[in-house]
């Protein structure tokens, strides 16, 4: 590929434009993002405190919920502070390596969150379909190993994307990213070289993580529903189903938002760019914001211990 004289060689600093077309109201747009971030940090921190201090919650389901809370805090923190800096203080410049780091963290935490939801679905499957074997299968050691495997999988899948950008691209059309944060394709599109490998790898990671996790989660819940509806007593069916409702809500909101975001980016060429940017930002921040609210409202044990904590 020929490189024109207008290209930039190995830029050290990039510029986050924020929301192109809505620069005049970005300071107001930052307010709901700040509120969501605040609720995400407080809500997930309360979940962690409750799970850590209450010995009755030291079960696989709640340990996975604690992992999810840590992931949500880390994901929101890797996005919002810099985003608000762009919106409120016009701190648009970001070091190139810092931008790549933010990209890796965002995609890695997304992969970890998806993996933890898969682990939670498998835990509910064993607890409802094979209750006598649950304590033997989901030991504390196995839960720790699952957490490590989910984290390692995310790191292994994200690392090549970092390498392909860092060591393949030398020339860039521009240093201005038309986005509020550093995202894989937003950085790749800046390059003045062949980006097909990066595009293919990005799609491969998305379909590997979402496709595999979504398939196994769906199969788990199909088996759970079959088992629940075979129970003879209505009370037993309701009790078994209630243990899954919070996870189903979290699972649905995460994957519905992700698929909607994916298809609007791929096939919504007529949609204004600021709609894409706003929706992608909400798509990343809604799960950390909603997860503690959903689990706090739907899980009786957490509600009871939350009231105790607040009263004390």
pLDDT band at residue 67 using 50, 70 and 90 as cut-offs: very high
Measured at the alpha carbon of residue 258, what is the angle toward residues 37 and 200, in degrees to the nearest 5?
Answer: 120
Buried b (16+ CB within 10 A) or exposed e, 12-24: eebbbbbbeebee
pLDDT band at residue 265 using 50, 70 and 90 as cut-offs: low
Write out the chain in H/E/C secondary structure. Answer: CCCCCCCEECCCEEEECCCCCCHHHHHHHHHHHHHHHHHHHHHHHHHHHHHHHCHHHCCHHHHHHHHHHHHHHHHHHHHHHHHHHHHHHCCCEEEHHHHHHHHHHHHHHHHHHHHHHHHHHHHHHHHHHCHHHHHHHCCHHHHHHHHHHHHHHHHHHHHHHHHHHHHHCCEECCCEECCCCCCHHHHHCCECCCCHHHHHHHHHHHHHHHHHHHHHHHHHHHHHHHHHHCCCCHHHHHHHHHHHHHHHHHHHHHHHHHHHHHHHHHHCCCCCHHHHHHHHHHHHHHHHHHHHHHHHHHCHHHHHHHHHHHHC
- With 80 as the cut, is the pLDDT of residue 240 above it? no
Given this model, what pLDDT does residue 1 score? 47
What is this structure's pTM? 0.92
For 50-63, what is each residue's pLDDT tens digit?
A: 999 998 889 999 99
What is the domain-level CATH number for residue 144?
A: 1.20.1070.10
Q: If you average pLDDT over residues 272-291, what whole number do you get?
A: 87
- As for how many domains the chain has, the answer is 1
Range with the poorest average pLDDT among 98-102, 146-150, 177-181, 273-277: 273-277
Has residue 207 been placed in a domain? yes
For 17-28, what is each residue's pLDDT tens digit?
A: 999 888 889 999
Has residue 81 been placed in a domain? yes
Has residue 20 been placed in a domain? yes
- With 70 as the cut, is the pLDDT of residue 4 above it? no
For 170-183, what is each residue's pLDDT tens digit?
A: 999 999 998 899 99
- With 50 as the cut, is the pLDDT of residue 2 above it? no
- With 70 as the cut, is the pLDDT of residue 268 above it? no
Has residue 259 been placed in a domain? yes
Which domain range does residue 302 map to?
12-311
Has residue 198 been placed in a domain? yes
Q: If you average pLDDT over residues 149-164, what whole number do you get?
A: 96
Has residue 3 been placed in a domain? no
Provide CB contacts within 8 A for 126, sequence distance 6+.
Answer: 133, 134, 137, 138
Has residue 164 been placed in a domain? yes
Given this model, what pLDDT does residue 266 score? 61
- With 60 as the cut, is the pLDDT of residue 39 above it? yes
Has residue 299 been placed in a domain? yes
């Amino acid at each position: 590929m020929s490189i024109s004289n207008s290209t930039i060689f190995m830029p050290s600093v990039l510029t986050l434009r924020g929301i192109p077309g809505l620069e005049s109201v970005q300071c107001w747009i930052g307010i709901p993002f700040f509120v969501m971030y605040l609720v995400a940090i407080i809500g997930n921190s309360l979940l962690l405190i409750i799970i850590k201090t209450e010995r009755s919650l030291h079960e696989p389901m709640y340990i996975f919920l604690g992992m999810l809370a840590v992931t949500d805090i880390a994901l929101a923190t890797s996005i919002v502070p810099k985003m608000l800096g762009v919106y409120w203080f016009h701190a648009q410049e970001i070091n190139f390596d810092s931008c790549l780091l933010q990209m890796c963290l965002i995609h890695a935490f997304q992969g970890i969150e998806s993996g933890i939801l898969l682990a939670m679905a498998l835990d509910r499957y064993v607890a409802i379909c094979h209750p006598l074997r649950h304590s033997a299968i989901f030991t504390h050691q196995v839960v720790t190993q699952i957490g490590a495997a989910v984290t390692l999988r995310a790191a292994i899948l994200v690392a090549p994307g970092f390498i392909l950008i860092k060591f393949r691209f030398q020339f860039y059309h521009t240093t201005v990213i038309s986005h509020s944060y550093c995202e894989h394709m937003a950085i790749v599109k800046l390059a003045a070289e062949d980006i097909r490998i990066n595009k293919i790898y990005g799609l491969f990671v998305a379909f590997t993580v979402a496709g595999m996790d979504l398939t196994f989660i769906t199969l788990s819940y199909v088996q759970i529903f079959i088992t629940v509806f075979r129970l003879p007593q209505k009370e037993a069916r309701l009790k078994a189903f209630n243990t899954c409702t919070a996870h189903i809500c979290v699972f649905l909101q995460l994957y519905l938002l992700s698929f909607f975001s994916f298809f609007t980016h791929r096939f919504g060429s007529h949609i204004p760019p600021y709609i894409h940017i706003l929706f992608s930002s909400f798509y990343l921040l809604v799960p950390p914001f909603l997860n503690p609210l959903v689990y706090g409202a739907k899980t009786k044990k957490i509600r009871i211990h939350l009231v105790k904590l607040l009263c004390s």
